Amino acid sequence: MANHIVRGQDILEFDLRRTKDDILVLFHDPNCIRVCGINISIETHTFKEIQDNFDVEHMYTPDGINYPLRGIDLKVPTLTNVFDTFLDKAKGFNLEIKEDDPRVAELLVEILKQYTEHNLENRIIISSKHCNVNNYFRKITNHEYATSACELEGMWFLYLTEIKLATLYFSLFPPSYGIYIYIYMYIVTLSYNNLMRIKNHPIYATYTSCINP
């Protein structure tokens, strides 16, 4: 992550999951098999168990033969670890709540309150495909932070845009929500791409890996 900031990337994006003992950690997959080689989930283990037993990037291989990151003690980071390290370096953060679990929103708010001096309400976007999680976060923060569109909101936006009634979107979801239109990869369909081409808007796809340059 530090390398990406040095290279000029302004925004860092993280996926949040809750451990069994209510610690927010950065982890994308619901299961650890792809990354760690262990067929268990983050949610069923305590943070200590995860730190003691998870070898992050255990399964990473650049060529299918070598596994250069095994045994170098890479651990699953917590959200507070990342904030303490990068709040003064990155301009903004996109935090995606992966689980359909309002408790994650509560834990996130508790952490955000610890960093009030960092102007996070103007530097963070909270995203989730789960509408109940998004709506709950908006409610308990009184819409103080920008949030993504959830899956249903994103689909409505695309549909209304397709039939040239996109202005109705903000009648359904008023701007006071602070909604940041974040279209998830599985929602960006051929119809959306065609729409952007018709309107002469270029589409840029980017991918940032913690491992590869």
Tell me the pLDDT tens digit for each residue of 55-111.
Answer: 887 788 888 899 888 888 788 899 999 999 888 888 888 899 999 999 999 999 999
Among 98, 120, 148, which residue terminates a domain? 148
Same domain, 91 and 193: no
**Inside any domain, residue 97:** yes
Same domain, 98 and 174: no
| Strand boundaries in 10-84, DSSP class E | 11-18, 24-26
**Inside any domain, residue 109:** yes
Residue bearing the bigger pLDDT, 132 or 12: 132
Annotate 135-162 with DSSP letters as a single string.
Answer: HHHHHHTTT-SEEE--HHHHHHHHHHHH
Same domain, 142 and 153: no
**Inside any domain, residue 143:** yes
Same domain, 131 and 157: no
The answer to which of 9-13, 34-38, 181-185 has the lowest mean pLDDT is 181-185
**Inside any domain, residue 96:** yes
Terminal CA-to-CA distance of the chain, rounded, Å? Answer: 11
CATH number for the domain spanning 82: value is 3.20.20.190
Q: What would the pLDDT profile of 2-23 be if each residue is shown by its tens digit?
A: 455 445 567 788 899 999 999 9
pLDDT tier, 206 (very low <50, low <70, confident <90, very high otherwise): very low
Among 102, 118, 148, which residue terminates a domain? 148
Residue bearing the bigger pLDDT, 110 or 173: 110
Q: What is the mean pLDDT of the chain?
A: 77
* Highest mean pLDDT of the ranges 66-70, 131-135, 151-155: 131-135
Same domain, 112 and 169: no
Question: Structurally, how many domains does the chain consist of?
Answer: 2
Q: Kindly state the tokens that stand for 201.
A: 């808007």
Give kind and range of the element (H or E) at residue 180.
strand 179-180
Please give the residue range of the domain that contains residue 174: 149-206
Annotate 80-133 with DSSP letters as a single string.
Answer: HHHHHHHTTT-SEEEEEE-SS-HHHHHHHHHHHGGGGGG-GGGTEEEE-S-HHH
pLDDT at position 146, please? 85
The answer to which of 19-28, 46-55, 78-87, 150-159 has the lowest mean pLDDT is 150-159
Same domain, 54 and 136: yes
Report the residue count for the chain. 213
pLDDT tier, 202 (very low <50, low <70, confident <90, very high otherwise): very low
